[in-house]
Structure 1
């Protein structure tokens, strides 16, 4: 393989430690300047090679790329990640002369096994050239430049296989969240050298159920993210709001638009794209990666991975699986993995989440037993590991399940009924209803106050927080089953069928499916909870929101008719969960989840982002006993 002279120079410079000039002949004095121009902290004894290069794209823009490999690596596959989150920092866990201590935990097994690990900054962020466009649309109706994350991935892979002498020419791509999005984009018109992909918690459809909105309800948590990501090449420190309770901060500001104005963010392009496009028009639908992939041939073996309690991107991986699995005629090209994790939890320690403790490090177990063999087979030619078509972790029972398809369960309706009960038999009086008053001035918090949306300790496990803090509120309806006499095992996405009305002209509906633990004694290791008092614990198995104005079409919002019963149908996140004997099933219904989601004024306005103070009105909400959740039950 012939290398360009400049490439050889770059590679040589990156391998040889810096040579320090001889000490000056003159003696130091108290006034000798103490500054040193540079220091190479990679010493001669280091067991790895680090290279930093600027890879040119087809339009001439150069993207910063960092490569790490163990010394002596040869005939090696490349594992690539393309990130907006600082490639240089992402690639280095701690400064060390040993690569196993240098790289992130999830990379150790790869670099120790003859892999070349590569991270790259996307256009316009950190050390790369060009302009940053968040979730840059694919070339087509929304993008006429001919440049997108698919072409940049192609050009990057092309350069790597031609200019890295240690590679065997096979490339895999991996990454979580935004990196999951860039992983999927690389599979569109893929480079021939791209042999395997593992999108983790990918951003797929920001309106339907990933970061920006959920069924039309806006997620305030993305505001600070947008500010950080689109300021100063993604090097901003974000909103200087201090430690004040975000519940009070957002409530006092008024609408989310008023909040943006208060902090000077209303002109940020990334946020304007959201505030100016509150409905599911082609602005969003043409960007939806699952819809794009549904029209593409299936060329790259793909392992889709998501956490059961992913607080940011629970929608994307199952949506892509549904879109591309029908193309997998032999059931060996596409797999879906659902683990007992938070967002991106697959790449960290999987022992516990919030109050839940599992039987060992489930994340490492999965990475070693399933994910690395998947890459080894496709990139190194090792024997076929027979990757399961579907691999899910049954929470409540604590074991991995292998399945041939997803969902596995058969829908069975769980109805609300009189006396605030739940039953698999419908109420004889379906027209009966239960009421509550929703007051936008006193929205239901999504976790107990005080709330800090930027506090990772509060944010990461919020979906498994004990829901008893909400169940005692008068504006939350709580329906509970009798004590279970046998297990109820669900595998799939529970489907909400909410028949409800409001005295207002708009409404938000939040539904929670909850596993209620016995109020007698804490449960032990067999249920996955060690050293935690779980007596009476109300574990949210799934939580989702729906903005009422979209009941007749996500692209066509319209006012609700006061008093008219509407059928709101929407899915909860995909789960594999066992409700154990002695437990109870619970459903909670409410009209806010604040300040994670913006407040619905309950008076119809064209754009909720710019609702006025007088638009926020109390309303009486009625939930009818024909309402149910279709549970995907396996026997």
Structure 2
């Protein structure tokens, strides 16, 4: 019999059998056949979890004022004597506790949690009061009980009460709890350090919101970060996730420019209904409202009781201020240099919790530096303090990635260079005539000038500014600055190519002597590493102007952050302010660049360049062109003081 004959015979048998089978519906093991019109969405649905390697528990934990907070626990099955790792978030506890619908704990938790859940940690995620599943009222970065908070609760008490409940109601735990979180959850982790619960044995605030006026989220040295208004819309129009910010044009540069001032932009979107926005608008200066919330100042007044690893990002596009300044505020209390730790990676905001193999499209890193850090530093730190008899971690007091050389470095302290009181001092890099840079004091022409026009502000990234492009936002701090270098309203100073490596480790300090024809002005200063004209091994880096540290300063606060004053028109003023922390090696063949400009839009609101009491309400007539002069002469020698240290 041939193969084709066999096929025909099999088909004939199937044809005979099918009609008989079609007469009787197949019955499932559950009983009688299901009627055709039975609704297909059951009243309740419970997924079988008997085969899962963890148990998911959802509880409402009572606080001291009676409010209950929605909390989700992932408890690996069979664990005993297990530590608890807690995150308190306004971003929905269901999100990190359900990354994948998986029977495996390591896949169900957030990416950062994989090694902890695989190692038997209990993971707890909690909605802060007033958000998602938790009861109570939501107050943005709720201040500590005191002048700004007349209630009996704050994030410190909520953390305390949560830990108290967890250690008493989780039989699998060893009674040791750690707090961890990034951005807003970094803030709540830091708040847990105020009068901490005795069971709190370790804290890891990552990219924490520490001071919303000086340098985290809302302001930078008095300039308002208006792009955060989209976050206000998503975060505070609903208890859950709110809608996106309405936009007329695809390009946010145009949207913000057409609106005029930041208040009018927000009001058009309905944000004037949100008390948090009104509070910010009502407090444009660094008054008691902001000073009494500055967590670094608060921590400096409290004893250091909990081993803490402050984690920050060298290219954090949102909260670049917090980790470094909180570490600095608490370091003096660490007499044995074994309680207060700092780690800074070459990451974006919260990049420590994901893969971080490169910064944007051009800057490549030597592998997945974030996962490497979590494996070699983060987990050993938490194991030591949270596991019963945990092994001592081999980590340095300071762990910082060094850009330029692309290597991790271990230090005993930070910064390595300082203004005074340490062996390595700051070294001025002078702005010089002819738009040059050098370490010698300038000689010759007194100043350079440009016209700053509020009607044509300098964009912070090349247009269009796209809200629907997450990578544009995540990596603007490392974006190529050639788009600004050629503008007539940007002064660009460049050094000769370096012949030897130049390493900086610390905060560069701007020492700018400048005048304006207006009565107010913003000053943006950028420290940039210019790659050689041709980089054969990576052509995308040819001529790349990579920012190392950039900052904005609002001129009205030159004498006092708390009490603004008009800038005397046409008179030289001194503007002295820090750039963000850098740990970088300028390599031979590279050049150092400094750019100076007076707008950074729409990242920060426009300075009208005419003094008004509150820039949020500046009328159209106040926005005027101004001639800006930057001086480089004896007695007014503008410079960037670099924290130069011997190259490794």
For the criterion TM > 0.5, the same-fold answer is yes
**How do residues 65-76 of structure 1 correspond to structure 2 at under 5 angstroms?**
65-76=71-82
Q: Give SS of 2:540's match.
A: coil
Larger radius of gyration: 2
> Counterpart of 1:464?
478
Deviations for 1:169-225, whole angstroms, at most 9, x for unmatched residues?
A: 000010000011000000000000000001100000000000000000000111111
Q: 1:26 deviation in Å? A: 6.0
> Counterpart of 2:10?
none
For 1:47 and 1:569, the matched residues in 2 are separated by 57
Residue 281 (structure 1) aligned to one of 287, 301, 304: 287
> Counterpart of 2:375?
368
Residue 391 (structure 1) aligned to one of 391, 394, 399: 399
> Counterpart of 1:414?
429
Once structures 1 and 2 are overlaid, which stretch shifts more, 475-484 or 564-573?
Answer: 564-573
For 2:47 and 2:210, the matched residues in 1 are separated by 39
Q: 1:388 deviation in Å? A: 0.9
Residue 618 (structure 1) aligned to one of 605, 620, 625: 625
Contact 1:42 1:97 survives alignment (8 Å): no
Deviations for 1:368-412, whole angstroms, at most 9, x for unmatched residues?
A: 101101110011122211431111111110111111111102310
> Counterpart of 2:206?
200
> Counterpart of 1:295?
301
Q: 1:243 deviation in Å? A: 5.9
> Counterpart of 1:604?
611
Contact 1:352 1:358 survives alignment (8 Å): yes
Q: 1:457 deviation in Å? A: 1.6
Contact 2:65 2:152 survives alignment (8 Å): no
**TM-score normalized with structure 2 length:** 0.92
Q: Give SS of 1:372's match.
A: helix
Q: 1:23 deviation in Å? A: 8.4
Deviations for 1:19-39, whole angstroms, at most 9, x for unmatched residues?
A: xxx988664344322221232
Deviations for 1:34-71, whole angstroms, at most 9, x for unmatched residues?
A: 22123233532111111000000001100000001221
Are 1:129 and 2:135 counterparts?
A: yes
> Counterpart of 1:593?
600
Are 1:558 and 2:565 counterparts?
A: yes
Are 1:634 and 2:645 counterparts?
A: yes
> Counterpart of 2:54?
48
For 1:179 and 1:195, the matched residues in 2 are separated by 17
Contact 1:447 1:462 survives alignment (8 Å): yes
Deviations for 1:326-383, whole angstroms, at most 9, x for unmatched residues?
A: 0000111001111100100100112111111111111111111011011100111222
> Counterpart of 1:172?
178
For 2:173 and 2:318, the matched residues in 1 are separated by 35
> Counterpart of 2:457?
443
Deviations for 1:312-337, whole angstroms, at most 9, x for unmatched residues?
A: 00000111111110000011100111
Q: Give SS of 2:541's match.
A: coil
For 2:40 and 2:631, the matched residues in 1 are separated by 76
Structure 2 unaligned runs (5+)? 1-27, 418-424
Contact 2:285 2:561 survives alignment (8 Å): yes
> Counterpart of 1:377?
384
Q: How many pairs were matched up?
A: 606
**How do residues 95-110 of structure 1 correspond to structure 2 at under 5 angstroms?**
95-110=101-116
Once structures 1 and 2 are overlaid, which stretch shifts more, 27-36 or 251-260?
Answer: 27-36
**How do residues 253-292 of structure 1 correspond to structure 2 at under 5 angstroms?**
253-292=259-298
Residue 590 (structure 2) aligned to one of 564, 583, 592: 583
> Counterpart of 1:455?
469
Deviations for 1:52-99, whole angstroms, at most 9, x for unmatched residues?
A: 000000011000000012211111000000000000112221111112
Q: Give SS of 2:84's match.
A: strand
For 2:437 and 2:116, the matched residues in 1 are separated by 49
For 1:29 and 1:384, the matched residues in 2 are separated by 64
Root-mean-square deviation over aligned CA pairs: 1.4
Residue 403 (structure 1) aligned to one of 403, 411, 428: 411
Contact 1:243 1:452 survives alignment (8 Å): no
Q: Give SS of 1:130's match.
A: coil
For 1:454 and 1:204, the matched residues in 2 are separated by 28
Contact 1:221 1:453 survives alignment (8 Å): no
> Counterpart of 2:502?
488
Q: Give SS of 1:450's match.
A: coil
**TM-score normalized with structure 1 length:** 0.94
For 2:80 and 2:516, the matched residues in 1 are separated by 67
For 1:257 and 1:487, the matched residues in 2 are separated by 47
Contact 2:60 2:69 survives alignment (8 Å): yes
For 2:373 and 2:115, the matched residues in 1 are separated by 13
Q: Give SS of 2:375's match.
A: helix
